[in-house]
């Protein structure tokens, strides 16, 4: 087995409404490290259902600690160029990265796909169980983008180990 893991991405959004926007993004790099960015929302992004408090953020923190959305998009496109990037909740993640791209009339340089596609012979519930087990063992949350990326990496490694044991 190669040292290269699939690439993973996770994004926390302002809410799950149609008006929602990306707030925190994390993605894995070629060397398996994880890059994370807080995204300063564009003025045109309005979300009446925003629940930034659930993310332990206040709006002023997004403006002080966040990176401009165009900069985060540029880094994602550079880091993930030509890759298929796997995630949980693919339709929502895809909507948020497309929101970033369309805001700046840019094309995405990567594809977003469901993590379940990595193991087509397994039931999604098996992958979910592995993810929960890793979360419990590593004391990490599936709700935090950087931790979810790490959990996806660990789950992929464990499931591949299980397959190679047979």
- For the domain made up of 7-120, give the CATH fold: Nucleotidyltransferase; domain 5 (3.30.420)
- The model's pLDDT over 56-69, given as tens digits with 9 standing for 90+, comes to 666 777 778 889 99
- Whether 125 contacts 150, CB under 8 Å: no
- The model's pLDDT over 6-35, given as tens digits with 9 standing for 90+, comes to 999 999 998 888 888 999 999 999 999 999
Distance, C-alpha 123 to centroid of its chain: 21
| CA–CA separation, 28 and 79 (whole Å) | 9
- The model's pLDDT over 92-131, given as tens digits with 9 standing for 90+, comes to 999 999 999 999 999 999 999 999 999 988 889 999 999 9
- Whether 96 contacts 13, CB under 8 Å: yes
Name the maximum alpha-carbon separation found in the chain.
Answer: 53
DSSP string, 81-101: TT-EEEESSHHHHHHHHHHHH
- Whether 12 contacts 21, CB under 8 Å: no
| CA–CA separation, 10 and 28 (whole Å) | 9
């Amino acid at each position: 087995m190669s040292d290269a893991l699939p690439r993973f991405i996770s994004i926390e959004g302002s809410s799950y409404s149609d008006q929602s926007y990306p707030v925190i993004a994390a993605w894995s790099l070629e060397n398996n490290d994880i890059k994370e960015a807080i995204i300063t929302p564009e003025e045109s992004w309005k979300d009446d259902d925003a629940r930034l408090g659930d993310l332990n953020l206040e709006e002023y923190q997004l403006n002080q600690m966040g990176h401009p959305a165009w900069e985060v998009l540029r880094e994602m496109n550079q880091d993930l160029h030509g890759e298929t990037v796997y995630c949980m909740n693919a339709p929502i993640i895809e909507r948020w990265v497309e929101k970033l791209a369309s805001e700046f009339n840019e094309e995405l340089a990567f594809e977003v796909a469901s993590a379940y596609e990595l193991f087509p012979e397994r039931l999604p519930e098996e992958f979910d169980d592995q993810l929960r087990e890793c979360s419990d063992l590593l004391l990490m949350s599936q709700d935090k983008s950087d931790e979810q990326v790490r959990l996806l990496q660990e789950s992929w490694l464990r499931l591949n180990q299980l397959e190679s044991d047979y």
